[in-house]
Structure 1
Protein backbone atom coordinates (compact mmCIF):
# COMPACT_ATOMS: atom_id res chain seq x y z
CA UNK A 1 0.00 0.00 0.00
CA UNK A 2 2.96 2.32 0.56
CA UNK A 3 3.92 2.01 -3.11
CA UNK A 4 0.35 2.89 -4.13
CA UNK A 5 0.42 5.88 -1.78
CA UNK A 6 3.67 7.15 -3.35
CA UNK A 7 2.23 6.73 -6.85
CA UNK A 8 -1.16 8.34 -6.19
CA UNK A 9 0.23 11.39 -4.42
CA UNK A 10 1.78 12.54 -7.72
CA UNK A 11 -1.34 11.94 -9.84
CA UNK A 12 -3.80 14.56 -10.99
CA UNK A 13 -7.23 14.09 -9.37
CA UNK A 14 -8.82 12.87 -12.62
CA UNK A 15 -6.21 10.09 -12.86
CA UNK A 16 -6.98 8.77 -9.36
CA UNK A 17 -10.35 7.30 -10.38
CA UNK A 18 -10.14 3.52 -10.34
CA UNK A 19 -12.10 0.30 -10.07
CA UNK A 20 -11.61 -2.56 -7.65
CA UNK A 21 -11.22 -5.87 -9.48
CA UNK A 22 -10.83 -9.38 -8.24
CA UNK A 23 -9.89 -12.54 -10.04
CA UNK A 24 -9.49 -16.17 -9.10
CA UNK A 25 -6.85 -18.45 -10.50
CA UNK A 26 -6.10 -22.16 -10.15
CA UNK A 27 -2.93 -23.29 -8.42
CA UNK A 28 -1.11 -26.60 -8.26
CA UNK A 29 -1.66 -27.70 -4.67
CA UNK A 30 1.81 -27.95 -3.12
CA UNK A 31 3.93 -26.70 -0.26
CA UNK A 32 7.17 -24.74 -0.48
CA UNK A 33 9.48 -22.91 1.89
CA UNK A 34 9.69 -19.11 1.63
CA UNK A 35 13.03 -18.13 3.15
CA UNK A 36 12.15 -14.40 3.10
CA UNK A 37 9.43 -14.89 5.70
CA UNK A 38 10.76 -18.20 7.12
CA UNK A 39 7.45 -19.99 6.51
CA UNK A 40 6.03 -22.91 4.61
CA UNK A 41 3.50 -21.61 2.08
CA UNK A 42 0.78 -23.43 0.20
CA UNK A 43 -1.79 -23.94 2.96
CA UNK A 44 -5.23 -22.38 2.72
CA UNK A 45 -4.74 -18.85 4.11
CA UNK A 46 -7.37 -16.11 4.32
CA UNK A 47 -4.79 -13.52 5.38
CA UNK A 48 -5.88 -13.25 9.00
CA UNK A 49 -2.76 -15.00 10.30
CA UNK A 50 -4.41 -18.40 10.67
CA UNK A 51 -3.74 -21.15 8.16
CA UNK A 52 -5.97 -24.17 7.66
CA UNK A 53 -4.44 -27.57 7.15
CA UNK A 54 -5.66 -27.91 3.57
CA UNK A 55 -3.64 -27.43 0.40
CA UNK A 56 -4.62 -24.20 -1.35
CA UNK A 57 -5.70 -24.91 -4.91
CA UNK A 58 -6.86 -21.40 -5.85
CA UNK A 59 -5.77 -17.82 -5.26
CA UNK A 60 -7.94 -14.74 -5.30
CA UNK A 61 -6.30 -11.41 -6.05
CA UNK A 62 -7.79 -7.96 -5.43
CA UNK A 63 -6.44 -5.16 -7.62
CA UNK A 64 -7.07 -1.48 -8.26
CA UNK A 65 -7.03 -0.38 -11.92
CA UNK A 66 -7.10 3.18 -13.23
CA UNK A 67 -10.08 4.32 -15.30
CA UNK A 68 -8.74 7.47 -17.00
CA UNK A 69 -5.05 6.64 -16.74
CA UNK A 70 -3.48 3.22 -17.33
CA UNK A 71 -2.23 1.88 -13.99
CA UNK A 72 -2.90 -1.11 -11.77
CA UNK A 73 -1.86 -2.22 -8.31
CA UNK A 74 -2.54 -5.54 -6.56
CA UNK A 75 -3.67 -4.76 -3.02
CA UNK A 76 -4.53 -8.13 -1.44
CA UNK A 77 -4.66 -11.86 -2.07
CA UNK A 78 -5.75 -15.04 -0.33
CA UNK A 79 -4.89 -18.69 -0.89
CA UNK A 80 -8.03 -20.84 -0.92
CA UNK A 81 -9.26 -24.41 -1.19
CA UNK A 82 -12.30 -25.22 -3.37
CA UNK A 83 -13.79 -21.74 -2.91
CA UNK A 84 -16.18 -21.87 -5.89
CA UNK A 85 -17.35 -25.38 -5.01
CA UNK A 86 -17.89 -24.29 -1.40
CA UNK A 87 -20.03 -21.35 -2.54
CA UNK A 88 -21.91 -23.59 -4.96
CA UNK A 89 -22.69 -26.03 -2.14
CA UNK A 90 -24.24 -23.21 -0.09
CA UNK A 91 -26.72 -22.40 -2.84
CA UNK A 92 -25.92 -19.34 -4.98
CA UNK A 93 -25.56 -20.10 -8.67
CA UNK A 94 -22.17 -18.88 -9.85
Structure 2
Protein backbone atom coordinates (compact mmCIF):
# COMPACT_ATOMS: atom_id res chain seq x y z
CA UNK A 1 0.00 0.00 0.00
CA UNK A 2 1.17 3.52 -0.60
CA UNK A 3 -0.23 6.93 0.20
CA UNK A 4 0.91 10.52 0.40
CA UNK A 5 0.20 12.91 3.27
CA UNK A 6 0.65 16.64 3.64
CA UNK A 7 3.28 17.91 6.10
CA UNK A 8 4.11 21.25 7.63
CA UNK A 9 7.46 22.31 6.12
CA UNK A 10 10.29 22.61 8.61
CA UNK A 11 13.91 21.71 9.19
CA UNK A 12 15.46 19.64 11.97
CA UNK A 13 19.02 18.60 12.67
CA UNK A 14 19.66 14.85 13.00
CA UNK A 15 22.76 14.43 15.17
CA UNK A 16 22.97 10.68 14.47
CA UNK A 17 23.45 11.22 10.74
CA UNK A 18 24.88 14.76 11.03
CA UNK A 19 22.36 16.00 8.50
CA UNK A 20 19.51 18.47 8.19
CA UNK A 21 16.11 16.86 7.55
CA UNK A 22 13.08 18.44 5.99
CA UNK A 23 14.21 18.73 2.39
CA UNK A 24 12.89 16.86 -0.65
CA UNK A 25 14.43 13.38 -0.42
CA UNK A 26 13.68 10.34 -2.59
CA UNK A 27 16.60 8.34 -1.22
CA UNK A 28 20.22 7.99 -2.26
CA UNK A 29 21.46 10.91 -4.34
CA UNK A 30 17.89 12.08 -5.01
CA UNK A 31 17.87 14.90 -2.44
CA UNK A 32 17.19 18.55 -3.27
CA UNK A 33 17.46 21.73 -1.23
CA UNK A 34 13.73 22.39 -1.42
CA UNK A 35 11.40 22.26 1.58
CA UNK A 36 9.36 19.04 1.71
CA UNK A 37 5.66 19.47 2.38
CA UNK A 38 4.46 15.93 1.60
CA UNK A 39 5.56 12.41 2.58
CA UNK A 40 5.02 9.31 0.44
CA UNK A 41 4.71 6.20 2.62
CA UNK A 42 4.81 2.50 1.68
CA UNK A 43 3.36 -0.23 3.90
CA UNK A 44 3.65 -3.98 3.32
CA UNK A 45 0.81 -6.12 4.65
CA UNK A 46 0.52 -9.89 4.89
CA UNK A 47 -2.21 -11.81 3.11
CA UNK A 48 -2.05 -15.16 4.93
CA UNK A 49 -1.00 -13.79 8.32
CA UNK A 50 -2.10 -10.59 10.05
CA UNK A 51 0.84 -8.15 10.02
CA UNK A 52 1.81 -4.85 8.46
CA UNK A 53 4.97 -2.79 8.44
CA UNK A 54 5.93 0.68 7.23
CA UNK A 55 8.87 -0.02 4.95
CA UNK A 56 9.72 3.14 3.05
CA UNK A 57 8.98 6.83 3.02
CA UNK A 58 10.15 9.71 0.87
CA UNK A 59 9.68 13.45 1.16
CA UNK A 60 8.56 15.71 -1.68
CA UNK A 61 7.38 19.20 -2.47
CA UNK A 62 3.81 19.17 -3.73
CA UNK A 63 3.03 15.61 -4.73
CA UNK A 64 5.50 13.05 -6.03
CA UNK A 65 5.57 13.09 -9.83
CA UNK A 66 4.05 10.04 -11.53
CA UNK A 67 7.42 9.15 -13.12
CA UNK A 68 9.17 9.33 -9.71
CA UNK A 69 6.36 7.27 -8.17
CA UNK A 70 6.78 4.58 -10.86
CA UNK A 71 10.52 4.38 -10.16
CA UNK A 72 10.13 4.32 -6.37
CA UNK A 73 7.32 1.73 -6.53
CA UNK A 74 9.39 -0.48 -8.84
CA UNK A 75 12.43 -0.18 -6.54
CA UNK A 76 10.37 -1.04 -3.43
CA UNK A 77 8.88 -4.11 -5.13
CA UNK A 78 12.31 -5.29 -6.32
CA UNK A 79 13.79 -4.90 -2.83
CA UNK A 80 11.03 -7.02 -1.30
CA UNK A 81 11.34 -9.70 -3.92
CA UNK A 82 15.09 -9.86 -3.24
CA UNK A 83 14.18 -10.58 0.41
CA UNK A 84 11.94 -13.48 -0.63
CA UNK A 85 8.54 -11.80 -0.32
CA UNK A 86 5.98 -12.29 -3.06
CA UNK A 87 4.27 -9.02 -3.97
CA UNK A 88 0.94 -9.80 -5.66
CA UNK A 89 -0.90 -6.47 -5.44
CA UNK A 90 -0.48 -2.78 -4.77
CA UNK A 91 -3.15 -0.55 -3.25
CA UNK A 92 -3.56 3.22 -3.34
CA UNK A 93 -6.25 5.86 -3.37
CA UNK A 94 -7.42 7.29 -6.69
CA UNK A 95 -5.31 10.44 -6.57
CA UNK A 96 -4.34 11.76 -9.99
CA UNK A 97 -0.63 11.04 -9.48
CA UNK A 98 -1.35 7.46 -8.39
CA UNK A 99 -3.64 6.84 -11.37
CA UNK A 100 -1.06 8.32 -13.77
CA UNK A 101 1.75 6.18 -12.32
CA UNK A 102 -0.29 2.96 -12.50
CA UNK A 103 -1.43 3.84 -16.04
CA UNK A 104 2.23 4.34 -16.98
CA UNK A 105 3.14 0.90 -15.56
CA UNK A 106 0.20 -0.68 -17.42
CA UNK A 107 1.24 1.04 -20.67
CA UNK A 108 4.84 -0.15 -20.20
CA UNK A 109 3.52 -3.70 -19.78
CA UNK A 110 1.36 -3.44 -22.92
CA UNK A 111 4.36 -2.17 -24.93
CA UNK A 112 6.61 -4.91 -23.55
CA UNK A 113 4.14 -7.66 -24.45
CA UNK A 114 3.45 -6.10 -27.86
CA UNK A 115 7.18 -6.09 -28.69
CA UNK A 116 7.31 -9.78 -27.75
CA UNK A 117 4.26 -10.47 -29.92
CA UNK A 118 2.28 -11.69 -26.90
CA UNK A 119 -1.38 -10.99 -26.22
CA UNK A 120 -1.98 -9.01 -23.04
CA UNK A 121 -4.25 -11.12 -20.85
CA UNK A 122 -2.98 -9.60 -17.62
CA UNK A 123 -5.07 -7.79 -15.03
CA UNK A 124 -2.09 -5.82 -13.78
CA UNK A 125 1.39 -4.66 -14.68
CA UNK A 126 4.72 -6.48 -14.91
CA UNK A 127 7.79 -5.84 -12.79
CA UNK A 128 10.68 -8.05 -13.94
CA UNK A 129 8.28 -10.45 -15.64
CA UNK A 130 5.96 -10.96 -12.65
CA UNK A 131 2.41 -9.61 -12.63
CA UNK A 132 1.18 -7.24 -9.92
CA UNK A 133 -2.48 -6.27 -9.78
CA UNK A 134 -3.29 -2.75 -8.63
CA UNK A 135 -6.36 -2.06 -6.50
CA UNK A 136 -7.79 1.37 -5.73
CA UNK A 137 -8.95 1.95 -2.18
CA UNK A 138 -12.17 3.90 -1.98
CA UNK A 139 -11.66 4.73 1.69
CA UNK A 140 -8.82 6.42 3.52
CA UNK A 141 -5.74 4.18 3.52
CA UNK A 142 -4.29 4.70 6.95
TM-score normalised by the chain length of structure 1: 0.64
CA deviation after TM superposition for structure 1 residue 25, in Å: 1.0
2:1 equivalent to 1:26? no
Greater share of residues in helix: 2
Residue aligning to 2:53: 73
Query: Separation in 2 of the partners of 1:33 and 1:70?
Result: 36
Gaps of 5+ in 2: 67-94, 97-142
Residue aligning to 1:62: 42
Query: Separation in 2 of the partners of 1:31 and 1:49?
Result: 19
Aligned with 2:18 (options 14, 35, 38): 38
CA deviation after TM superposition for structure 1 residue 75, in Å: 1.6
Superposed CA deviations along residues 35-89 of structure 1, whole A, max 9, x for unmatched, are 12111000000112342111000000111011232101122110000116x66xx
2:23 equivalent to 1:48? no
Aligned residues: 68
Superposed CA deviations along residues 3-39 of structure 1, whole A, max 9, x for unmatched, are xxxxxxxxxxxxxxxxxx1011111100000112111
CA RMSD of aligned residues (A): 1.8
Greater share of residues in strand: 1
